[in-house]
Structure 1
Amino acid sequence: MAKVLCVLYDDPVDGYPKEYARDGLPELSGYPGGQTLPTPSAIDFTPGVLLGSVSGELGLREYLEGAGHTLVVTSDKDGADSTFDRELPDADVVISQPFWPAYMTAERFEKARNLKLIITAGIGSDHTDLDAAVRKGVTVAEVTYSNSISVAEHVVMMILSLVRDYLPAWEVVKEGGWNIADVVKRSYDLEGMHVGTVAAGRIGLAVLKRLAPFDVHLHYTDRHRLPREVEESLNLTWHESTADMVPVCDVVTINAPLHPETEGLFGDELLSTMKRGAYLIDTARARITDRDAIVRALQSGRLAGYAGDVWFPQPAPPDHPWRTMPHHGMTPHMSGSSLSAQARYSAGTREILECFFEGRPIREEYLIVEGGHLAGAGAHSYSTKE
């Protein structure tokens, strides 16, 4: 029997919900492009409830304990004396989310003598040292596409919020004011702007599709160019590199995975080539940007606004400069953890576990590392030093 170690974020400060704002979720027939939704043999949760926090347990306890496995769930993941580190040495499976990641460093791999499988409940496995996973022969999987549309919707919301300067206007209303001139002096229309995405995978392409009706000029860069019919249907302009694209854009959204080629990409040098007053959105990974360079670009006016919900480290410390920098629209990492998304990535996590325990192949699109090599989605999106 296996020990499954699961790291999830804390419950709400006022306790695990007893009721919810809505009853149930819309039923989806599948993902855009034809990929099927997760197909576990069963689920032991009600779609639409909070599953991503400690008490939600991703809806896994009944299934795992019914099969004789041990499930340990904790939010305590950082530091040598954390619950995670104490439980790790004999864990067979580690599960965590990008929103509250268990950073699987090379040092932790050395301690995890029984480790066979790491699952990201969601998408994005850069909190795992993929080189170490390759060396150790540990399988890494994630629930691809489970929250891609959730993140894409968040991106569109953030773009509109920055361009229209929504948040300061909301603050005026909260404070009892009616200062129209103050709240429109930084407010513009998105219509006619040039908007570009760094990477046009599932999330980036979904953003482009949702922005097309706003009558904007759409741009993208990706190491895998989209089919001509897709480019023509959305009237996309492709650029060979991020450096080629960002100087022509009023809005840039980052939707790329974190790997050696993208880490630190948006530093002082690249930011200096952007239009004065451009907007930058990052819901991908914080380390694709240079933390302090973002602050400087906002203070100087090079950027008119910055929004995102990815930080490093996560959770961000109280004194993180992004909390207080001007003209930002940051959220804690929640774009891909809506209650809708949680139902999908919890079901997908169970599907991966069922395959693993029953000796069946894990879906190709869920795989990041398998058999000592990048595999599936990992081979498409990541690179390693191995």
Structure 2
Amino acid sequence: MKTYIFDPISDDALAYARKHLDVVTWKDDKINSPSDAEACIVRTYKIGKDQIDAMPKLRIIAKHGVGTDNIDIPYAKSKGILVTNTPTANSNSVAEQAVALIFDCARKITQAHIDNEKGLERNQPMYLKGYEITGKRLGLIGIGHIGYLVGKKLKSGFNMDVYAYDPFISTEKCESMGFHHVKSIDDIIKICDVISISVPLNDATRNLISKRELGMMKPTTILINTSRGGIVNETDLYEALQNKKIWGAGFDAFVSEPLPPHDKLFNCFNFVGTPHNGANTYEALTRMGTGAVDEIIRVSENKPTLTNLGAKIH
């Protein structure tokens, strides 16, 4: 099956694709004229109407990852094209990134490294003091695959008391995970020491955390976002950090990505930002790449795909 891969993928996944499919990659000149493509794999490459129309033989768009905001799914569906993703392949890597950001914020690790490199007069300066997260309250906004893993790791490893908000999860399901179920985001914002966001960006979640919510947080709150930019209002976040209304923020997702080098958030002593790097591990990249290839193989064999966000298989 003629497959165009528009973004770099792991070497192992690429070898797997070449073993099972007729592959054209981002390295090939022919990638600019994919009129014979029957399938394509994308990570961040945008597939809109023009790109879809340029591939009249296209049967499937396989997303290498979870979020599909770079794909025009309604138009693909109207053309009878399948859209698949790999919803759990990067969950553990992103959850580990969230945990890493929590520790970085709690212990000021990045700032301590920067200041140490610049030169310090003494060890353990008081302005770099942190706090322990063991036994503190963790708030989860969203308890899908990633949110659940964040909560599980911090509850079992650091005895955190976990509170969770997710309108699509029942109280019984939440409690079976070992978490306290809350009915309102406010209930998390008011009491939790660490808040981790793991939700998709849509009309309901855009600016979910803004000036009002930030103003309700404790001055010791650490806010983590490893999902999508736009869920937290970045202007309001900057003001909260500058005025020390919260302890710190660790973000892996922004409205503009990568975050511009002179963005005002970088002026905040209590801010850590990474370039949407949560899924950028050897293991996750291999799982996402081979998972996307497997969906294309299923289509080539006229078998049902594991995921389907677009049209019905034909």
TM-score (norm 1): 0.71
Q: Shift of residue 174 of structure 1?
A: 3.3
Select 2:42's aligned residue among 72, 86, 96. Answer: 96
Give the distance between the partners of 2:3 and 2:151, measured in 1 at CA. 42
Give the distance between the partners of 2:126 and 2:34, measured in 1 at CA. 53
Q: Which amino acid aligns with 1:201?
A: G
1:209 aligns with 2:152: yes
Match of 1:138 in 2: 81
- The 8 Å contact of residues 7 and 45 in structure 2, kept in 1 or not, is answered as yes
Q: Shift of residue 74 of structure 1?
A: 5.2
- The 8 Å contact of residues 139 and 189 in structure 2, kept in 1 or not, is answered as yes
Q: Aligned to 1:306, what secondary structure does the other structure show? A: strand
Q: Which amino acid aligns with 2:18?
A: E
Q: Aligned to 2:271, what secondary structure does the other structure show? A: coil
Select 1:287's aligned residue among 219, 222, 230. Answer: 230
- The 8 Å contact of residues 13 and 290 in structure 2, kept in 1 or not, is answered as no
Give the distance between the partners of 1:230 and 1:204, measured in 2 at CA. 11
Match of 1:223 in 2: 167
Select 2:24's aligned residue among 71, 77, 84. Answer: 71
Match of 1:59 in 2: 15
Give the distance between the partners of 2:19 and 2:255, measured in 1 at CA. 33
Give the distance between the partners of 2:5 and 2:286, measured in 1 at CA. 20
Give the distance between the partners of 1:278 and 1:115, measured in 2 at CA. 48
Listed one character per residue, the Cα deviations across residues 8-36 of structure 1 (whole Å, up to 9, x for unaligned) are 3xxxxxxxxxxxxxxxxxxxxxxxxxxxx
- The 8 Å contact of residues 2 and 93 in structure 1, kept in 2 or not, is answered as yes
Match of 2:246 in 1: 303
Q: Shift of residue 188 of structure 1?
A: 1.1
Distance change >3 Å, CA 139–CA 305, structure 1 → 2: same
106-115 vs 176-185, which deviates more?
106-115
Match of 2:4 in 1: 4
1:156 aligns with 2:112: no
Gaps of 5+ in 2: none
- The 8 Å contact of residues 298 and 304 in structure 1, kept in 2 or not, is answered as yes
Q: Aligned to 1:288, what secondary structure does the other structure show? A: coil
Q: Which amino acid aligns with 2:229?
A: A
Gaps of 5+ in 1: 9-50, 77-82, 373-386
Q: Aligned to 1:196, what secondary structure does the other structure show? A: strand
Counterpart mapping for 1:9-24 below 5 A: none
Match of 1:33 in 2: none
Q: Shift of residue 294 of structure 1?
A: 1.8
Distance change >3 Å, CA 75–CA 144, structure 1 → 2: farther
1:120 aligns with 2:63: yes
Give the distance between the partners of 1:273 and 1:131, measured in 2 at CA. 38
Select 1:167's aligned residue among 88, 92, 110. Answer: 110
Q: Aligned to 2:125, what secondary structure does the other structure show? A: helix
Match of 2:311 in 1: 370
Distance change >3 Å, CA 154–CA 224, structure 1 → 2: same
Match of 1:358 in 2: 301
Identity %: 24
Distance change >3 Å, CA 201–CA 304, structure 1 → 2: same
- The 8 Å contact of residues 13 and 286 in structure 2, kept in 1 or not, is answered as no
Q: Shift of residue 348 of structure 1?
A: 1.0
Q: Aligned to 1:367, what secondary structure does the other structure show? A: coil
Q: Which amino acid aligns with 1:317?
A: P
Cα-Cα RMSD: 2.9
Give the distance between the partners of 2:187 and 2:2, measured in 1 at CA. 50
Listed one character per residue, the Cα deviations across residues 163-213 of structure 1 (whole Å, up to 9, x for unaligned) are 12222223344345333133544x112133221111101110111111113
- The 8 Å contact of residues 81 and 311 in structure 2, kept in 1 or not, is answered as yes
Give the distance between the partners of 2:258 and 2:181, measured in 1 at CA. 35
Q: Which amino acid aligns with 1:7?
A: D
153-162 vs 241-250, which deviates more?
241-250
Match of 1:383 in 2: none
Match of 2:276 in 1: 333
Give the distance between the partners of 2:160 and 2:231, measured in 1 at CA. 25
Give the distance between the partners of 1:292 and 1:87, measured in 2 at CA. 41
Distance change >3 Å, CA 356–CA 232, structure 1 → 2: closer
- The 8 Å contact of residues 158 and 281 in structure 1, kept in 2 or not, is answered as yes
